[in-house]
Amino acid sequence: MIRLCTGLLLTLLSLTLSSTAWSAPPEKANAPAEEADLEDPFEDEEDPFEDEEEGEDEGGMGSLLDEIAEEFSEVEPESAWDSPAEEQRSFPYTEHHGLFRVRTDFMYRLHLGTAIFGEVDKQFVTIGTSGIRPPLSENLVNNDNPDFGLSTVGSQDEDSLSGANLRFRYSPTIHVSRELRVGLQFDILDNLVMGSTPDYGMNRPDTPLAAFSETQNSPVHGDNSVQNSVRIKQAYGEWVSPLGTLRAGRQAAHWGMGMVANDGQAPGSDFGDYWDRIQLRTNLPGTELEMTLSKDSLYTGDVQVPESEYYGQSYDAYPEDDVNQFAFSISSFGSSNEDLAVRHHRIHVDREPVFDWGIYYQHRSQLKDTVYGDGGAETVDVDISLHTPDFWARLDWSPEPGKHLHIEFEAAIVFGEIGFIPQTQTSAEVFQTGAALTIDWTTMENQLTLGFDSGFASGDKAEYFGVRDHHNLGTASDPNKKLMNFKFDRNFYVDQILFREVIGTVTNATYMKPWIQWDFFEQPELDAGIRMDLEWGIALQPEATPGDSFNLGVELDFSFFYEELGVFRADMTYAFFIPGQAFDLVPGYMDPDHDQSKISEWAARIQSRLIWMF
């Protein structure tokens, strides 16, 4: 009777565990190993922090559990449910991941109060020293009349911009077999501004005014939006072969901290590096190091489509104008679940300091380019060859529960030459350097974290930052023959206003940012807290800034957040920026004929986000 009851009880238990394994939520995308809900391969080992008295339970509950386990070990499984669910799963099946984000923004004077009317590239436009332009009421069209005049362009009668936007990202993985997978990523309504596609038309009889619109239309490129409703970001296949994991197709690229290559998979990202790539990932023979070899097609130029065969195969019209890239990396940081589990155990169970490192190298080249003129497509020799070596290192140490040290560093150099630049009709040398560092120490039972972030990106003596303002290649009469402005990847965010919006990224600058974070409570799957960041930016080449000064300014950010790890996050950030003299408007900036001067003014931003993850 006891055997029968025990068998029934444990059979029910096994059914419950099997069904749980089927319905368990996925891990948070790109979560650090110490945060991921990983299965511990060392769970059968003795816990060094376990109370020794817990094992002294002779004749008690422990003895009863041992008897039940012994009884169950003698019972033969009667169905497939008694085996691990993953081994009984039939192929193919789909693994679902993604997120839905709603983001609101209120931006006050992010144009810094320096907008004027000027001529750029033979076009009359509103210009200024910030990458964010003022409201439409401040532009030329709304001020070019006798009652106002050009002097009122950018008069700061209105300084605020606000709105909300959406993104639904769906990233399924289709498991064809144990060795074969297909990965996809769709961005639906990608950063769509809410209310931007109303159903109306000025010549429509039913809704001639936007105020009469009763619904929103789907975004269609060239019709009511600059993009379509769906953007396909990734589509690739994977084969786990005897030589390693082969991945081919359009895929996100990431390395180290994301300073050079950033996949844009973080919930707050807007951009991403998606390359048409064939990559082999394997272990370096005779070592435990992970190695990757990649061939990337970054540009093919014109594509030839046979007449009347628009649904047939297209061809690269001229292979010699292609931009090709070869990449190679070696890293001690393994990417498999087993590697992450071992790393997690070493940090949080063995209490060992874990040091990871990696080297990355890419070579980008282009022999010819296609220039379009009155006579059609003309090929010219450009002879571009760019080399980018990169070094990355990371240290994690948790000496005792509730305390953790994290140090991470990345440095890169870009060097090479460009034989011919069409915009300036000259050649140029390239030598750029950049580095980023982050240090944080968590203490007081995982509640207090003190951090310091810093980095630099080399600058250029030629005018402009070369991101949101204007390229800094120079002109035919005054070419820039030594390109030195290193640019952080657009997804490497360090603040809310200065580098993210006003400049566009970290370039021609160094920054220093101490920060502090307080978590209200400690729970593995739940977090809420506040954070404060204080950042100072310095221009490395003052003559390249709008105001010809080294002082970029100071930014103070306050954020409040609540998160259910891997499931939901709600946060709000208030940012306050005091620009330095580098963003003052001086005579001749962007338009040599203007003689106006304006002192840049403070700016503020309030951003909130709701993010659902699965």
For the whole model, what pTM was predicted? 0.82
pLDDT digits (tens, 9 = 90+) for 132-170: 998 888 777 776 655 545 556 666 678 999 999 999 999
Q: What pLDDT does residue 78 have?
A: 40
Q: CA 447, CA 445: separation in Å to the nearest integer?
A: 5
Please indicate, yes or no, whether residues 461 and 530 belong to a single structural domain of this protein.
yes
Q: What pLDDT does residue 155 have?
A: 64
The verdict on residue 251 lying in a domain is no
With a cut of 70, say whether residue 216 has pLDDT above it. Answer: yes
With a cut of 70, say whether residue 350 has pLDDT above it. Answer: yes
Q: What pLDDT does residue 430 have?
A: 97
Run of H or E residues at 448 = strand 448-457
pLDDT digits (tens, 9 = 90+) for 70-80: 444 444 444 33
The verdict on residue 276 lying in a domain is no
H-type helices in 162-240, by residue range? none
Query: CB-hemisphere CA count at 13 Å for 471?
Result: 10
With a cut of 90, say whether residue 194 has pLDDT above it. Answer: yes
- pLDDT tier, 581 (very low <50, low <70, confident <90, very high otherwise): very high
Please indicate, yes or no, whether residues 442 and 352 belong to a single structural domain of this protein.
no
pLDDT above 90 covers a percentage of the chain that reads 65
Task: Give bridge partners of residue 94 from the DSSP assignment.
Answer: 174
Please indicate, yes or no, whether residues 433 and 515 belong to a single structural domain of this protein.
yes
Q: What pLDDT does residue 145 have?
A: 56
Do 578 and 602 meet the contact criterion of CB atoms below 8 Å apart? yes
Please indicate, yes or no, whether residues 428 and 529 belong to a single structural domain of this protein.
yes
Please indicate, yes or no, whether residues 493 and 540 belong to a single structural domain of this protein.
yes
With a cut of 90, say whether residue 522 has pLDDT above it. Answer: no
Looking at residue 467, its amino acid is: V
Instruction: Quote the mean pLDDT of the chain.
Output: 85
Range of the domain at 579: 401-583
Please indicate, yes or no, whether residues 407 and 513 belong to a single structural domain of this protein.
yes
The verdict on residue 576 lying in a domain is yes
Please indicate, yes or no, whether residues 336 and 420 belong to a single structural domain of this protein.
no
Contacts of 431 (CB under 8 A, 6+ apart): 413, 414, 415, 458, 482, 483, 484
Please indicate, yes or no, whether residues 432 and 537 belong to a single structural domain of this protein.
yes
Task: Give bridge partners of residue 82 from the DSSP assignment.
Answer: none
With a cut of 70, say whether residue 45 has pLDDT above it. Answer: no
Contacts of 316 (CB under 8 A, 6+ apart): 300, 301, 303, 304, 322
More confident residue, 514 or 52: 514
Looking at the structure of the chain, the number of domains it has is 3
Please indicate, yes or no, whether residues 368 and 415 belong to a single structural domain of this protein.
no
pLDDT digits (tens, 9 = 90+) for 356-386: 999 999 999 999 998 877 777 788 999 999 9
Per-residue 3-state assignment (H helix, E strand, C coil) for 241-256: ECCEEEEEEEEECCCC
Please indicate, yes or no, whether residues 373 and 421 belong to a single structural domain of this protein.
no
Please indicate, yes or no, whether residues 322 and 418 belong to a single structural domain of this protein.
no
Q: What pLDDT does residue 65 have?
A: 44
Q: CA 436, CA 11: separation in Å to the nearest integer?
A: 54
The verdict on residue 32 lying in a domain is yes
Please indicate, yes or no, whether residues 412 and 337 belong to a single structural domain of this protein.
no
Q: What pLDDT does residue 497 have?
A: 98
